[in-house]
Structure 1
Amino acid sequence: MRWTIRISFLLFLAWAIFMVSPFVALYDLGKAVEAKDIDRITERVNFNAVRNSLSRQILGEYMKDQDLEGAERDLATEAGTAILNPVVEQLVTPQALIDLLEDGLPEEATGGMAGTAVPLRFAMGSLKQAWSTFIFSESQGFRSVTIPVPVDEAKEKQFRITMRLKGTTWRLSGIELPVALREELIKRAAVASR
């Protein structure tokens, strides 16, 4: 009986550590952003996955207003990808991620746009705030967690950070941008393409 209790306790402890580990990784990423530690940021970010995530959502927002079907939609998607690619590439650099995660705005890609985004705050000021972040996060199986940041802001002002487990390391693999920032990036891409 004692062995059953010990093994159960060890399994519970391993499960608890696993459940908290993506939040610890996100906190570590936040500390790397504060310190502007490019090497640590590079370790914690899957840039290709972030590029794909940003491209999908910005292009999705762009195509939402288009009334196209079939081949026309495919051509518009290809054209939209070509137009938006320079904007997305400006977002997927270590410095742009520092700006985005520190200020809520990627300065190079938005041209210093002000007043539309909320800075991401990774610091857990209280146990209540940490608990809220944990409760409002969404797990997608055992290898992926989406975390709303900052948790105390309205949904339309939140970033949704996706952390994905690769090997034994949680890495940033997606950033869902607030609506206002997505719209601004689409406007900037349209202006840049003219």
Structure 2
Amino acid sequence: MRWTLRISFLLFLAWAIFMVSPFVALYDMSKAIEARDMDRITERVNFNALRVSLARQILGEYLKTQDLDGLGQQAATQAGTAVLNPVLEELITPQAVIYLLDDGQLQQATGTQGRNGSFFPLGFDTASLGKAWRTFIMSETQGFRAITIPLPADEPRDKQFKITLRLRGTTWRLTGIDLPEPLKDELIKRAAAATK
């Protein structure tokens, strides 16, 4: 009986550590963003997967705004990819990830000042425990190896980023960012301006 209780306790403890680990990784990434630590950000971000994530959503929205009469879907996708490539190149760097996730804006490319304070709601003081709990509750697991976390949890859905973390080995890495609608619109405007 004692062994059953010990094994059950150890399994529960392992499960609890596993459930909290992506949020610890997200907290570590927020500290790396605050410190502007490029090496830690590079360790925590899968830039190839991030490129695919951003290209898929921006390209889809961009193609909706274009007149595609007479073009096949594949030709339109190739043309859109060629147009969006310079816009994506601005976003797929450690510095751009810092600007994007620090305050939720594209500071580097637009030259605008962002909000004061970090975009990440996770901290260990009493004021942020409520936000951390809401973030935990609103997160969605995708099997055992991926999780999508909405940030900030207090914002309406159309203003939230959805951060996707995937477990590789023993490290959770950022593999996708679902952008809020205002940022998608801004990136589509940039792509349209690049074609003129």
Q: Distance in 2 between matches of 1:69 and 1:146?
A: 36
Amino acid at match of 1:108: Q
Once the 2 structures are TM-superposed, how far is the Cα of residue 69 of structure 1 from its aligned partner? 8.6
Q: Deviations over 1:48-86 (max 9, x none)?
A: 111110000100111234575996221111100000011
Residue range with higher mean Cα deviation, 64-73 or 11-20: 64-73
Contact 1:148 1:160 in 2 (8 A): yes
Q: Distance in 1 between matches of 2:163 and 2:100?
A: 12
1:152 aligns to what SS in structure 2?
coil
Q: Deviations over 1:123-175 (max 9, x none)?
A: 33432211111110000000000000000111111100000000000000001
- 2:139 counterpart residue number: 137
Stretches of structure 1 lacking an aligned partner (at least 5 in a row): none
1:102 aligns to what SS in structure 2?
helix
Stretches of structure 2 lacking an aligned partner (at least 5 in a row): none
- 2:14 counterpart residue number: 14
Amino acid at match of 1:112: G
- 2:121 counterpart residue number: 122
Q: Distance in 1 between matches of 2:4 and 2:57?
A: 48
Which residue of 152, 155, 164 maps to 1:153? 155
Q: Distance in 1 between matches of 2:180 and 2:65?
A: 17
User: Relative to 1, partners in 2 of residues 1:51 and 1:79: Cα closer, same or farther, differing over 3 Å?
Assistant: same
Contact 1:51 1:88 in 2 (8 A): yes
Once the 2 structures are TM-superposed, how far is the Cα of residue 103 of structure 1 from its aligned partner? 2.2
- 1:64 counterpart residue number: 64
Amino acid at match of 2:6: R
- 2:38 counterpart residue number: 38
User: How many corresponding residue pairs?
Assistant: 192
Q: Distance in 2 between matches of 1:12 and 1:32?
A: 30
1:126 aligns to what SS in structure 2?
helix
TM-score (normalizing by structure 1) = 0.92
- 1:176 counterpart residue number: 178
- 2:189 counterpart residue number: 187
Overall identity of the aligned pairs, in %: 66
Q: Distance in 2 between matches of 1:180 and 1:161?
A: 16
Q: Distance in 2 between matches of 1:28 and 1:182?
A: 27
Once the 2 structures are TM-superposed, how far is the Cα of residue 182 of structure 1 from its aligned partner? 0.5
Contact 1:26 1:122 in 2 (8 A): no
User: Quick check: 1:162 aligned with 2:164?
Assistant: yes
RMSD of aligned Cα (Å): 2.1
Contact 2:105 2:114 in 1 (8 A): no
